[in-house]
Chains A and B, each alone.
Chain A
Amino acid sequence: MQTLKMVVTGPFNAGKTEFIQSVSEIDVVSTERRISSEIERIKETTTVAMDFGRITIDNEMALYLFGTPGQKRFDFMWEILSEGMLGFVVIVDSTRPETFREARKILETFRAYAPTPYVVAANKQDCDDAWETDDMRIALRLSHEIKILDCVAMSKDSVKTVLLELLYSILAELEAVDLQIA
């Protein structure tokens, strides 16, 4: 069985767990790790949730979805997860503009670790106070070739659309690689 990997990242509470849960065929395995921060003088520990879910593609292949918190101090996790991944989804809570800056930082960092395709999911679009994707594109300073997609993480169809758009971007990247080689 070949295993492929996609990473779902984004600020705390953006909807990563919900997103993975909507399409995973196994119950999302949420794990908690205790991390003691170097900076704190006292041994303060923080509990961090990580998720992983799975979609069996066929007899030979399974796609794993890894959810990882985006905070700066979990850099090391990103580095690990970005190893060999197909692409990643950055989930942003469209109702909380105060998290956009962080989302942007996460995006840049992840991008630096893994030059693989990614899309941005503007989550919680079912909420009244959700920002529109066009406005979010500007707030997040996304260039025009990066896709930002409406998303409601509880909806399987919505999550499917986001994953499909990411896969289309991966296809496009493959074409581009080929062009460079040729």
Chain B
Amino acid sequence: MAIKGNLHDFTLTQLLNLINLAQKTGTLVVEGSNEAIEVFFTDGKLAYAQTGQEDNSLVGILHKSQLLSSAQFRGIKANVNGMSDKELGLLLINANYFSQQDILLSLQNHFVDVLNRLFTWMEGFFQFETDVSPPEDKITVRVNLENIILEGSRQIRELEHLEEEIPSLEIGVKFVDRPGANVANLKLSTEEWRVIPYIDPKNTLRQIAKVTELTDIEIRQVIYSLVQAGIVEMVRSISHQGTPPSPRLPDHIVKGDKEEGKSLIFRIIDRIRSL
């Protein structure tokens, strides 16, 4: 019998609990707004997962987890035409490229990643089909669901918390006038660095997320941590609807309005002279 529904009504946590407790074997297919994810379970344990969009081949996964360089990836890919993941895995192990452990661990991480992604979906049709197994040629793993469920609900709580802290992406952000003393020990992540150049009340968070290619959740996380670090604060955006984030160079300089541009530069010159 198939279990069907929408994540909106029956959450992923509930679903995974069910699969775990009933030690189910089968396939869970979830269709999101622009992606579909398929997860396979054996006796209530995660066995395999794949997405409709990405490279789900073993080489692709090893490359993504940085076990293969881009050159190796291309080289292997060109040479293994038609070889199944299982065959390729054996080949790589026999050629001493990797240990079996390496391969299983990297697959396991990948499958867990794919499954975790579902925790951020608020909507999505799902269907669980009992006794459908992963494709024959795929290497499978066995991962207990307990930790995944725990970690996932933590993620959901964080998301809810972030949505409370930053209810709207239509707000702007600016650098604080007096950064706190703790900024000296700050360590920024790559995502945070990506956002920094766009910190300007003229840009809404939504616009910043768009140019920096961050998801709604990621931009919330970044802004929240920059706010917590005392570097930026949230302000009402002075952005005009629809205009793209403007560079932080003042308009009159970009557009070559000479007098205004010059007066602005003179202000900076005066200030620096007085330092």
Contact = CB atoms under 8 A, between A and B. Distances in A.
Nearest to A80: B197
Contact of B174 (A3, A40, A85): A3
A167 interface: yes
A162 to B, nearest CB: 10
Interface of A: 1-5, 23, 26-33, 35-36, 38-41, 43, 50, 52, 54-58, 61-64, 77, 80-81, 83-86, 156, 160, 163-164, 167-168, 170-171, 174-175, 177-178, 180-181
A33 B189 contact: yes
A43 B269 CA distance: 46
Contact of B175 (A64, A163, A181): A64
Main SS class of interface, A: mixed
A62 B249 contact: no
Contact of A175 (B72, B184, B258): B258
A160 B267 CA distance: 14
A174 B256 contact: yes
Contacts of A32: 187
A178 B184 contact: no
B187 A31 contact: yes
A156 B269 contact: no
B240 interface: no
A32 B197 CA distance: 17
Contacts of B174: 1, 3
B1 interface: no
Given A1-B174, A4-B250, A57-B268, A164 B69 contact: no
Contacts of A81: 197
Given A27-B184, A41-B69, A83 B247 contact: yes
Contacts of B150: none
A101 to B, nearest CB: 26
Interface in B231-275: 231, 246-250, 253, 256, 258, 261-262, 264-269, 271-273, 275
Q: How many of chain B's residues touch chain A, expressed as a range?
A: 35 or more
B248 A3 contact: yes
A174 B265 contact: yes
Given A50-B188, A164-B272, A26 B199 contact: no
B241 to A, nearest CB: 21
A42 to B, nearest CB: 9
Contact of A55 (B188, B261, B275): B275
Nearest to B248: A84
B189 A38 contact: no
What are the 5 closest A-B residue pairs judged by CB atoms, nearest first? A84-B247, A84-B248, A177-B256, A178-B258, A84-B249
A167 B193 contact: no
Given A36-B66, A160-B275, A167 B269 contact: yes
A3 to B, nearest CB: 6
Given A3-B200, A33-B190, A55 B271 contact: yes
Given A63-B268, A167-B269, A4 B248 contact: yes
B183 interface: yes
A80 B179 contact: no
Interface in B192-236: 193-194, 196-200, 231
A171 B193 contact: no
B199 to A, nearest CB: 7
B187 A167 contact: no
A163 B190 CA distance: 28
Contacts of A84: 197, 246-249
A32 B186 CA distance: 8
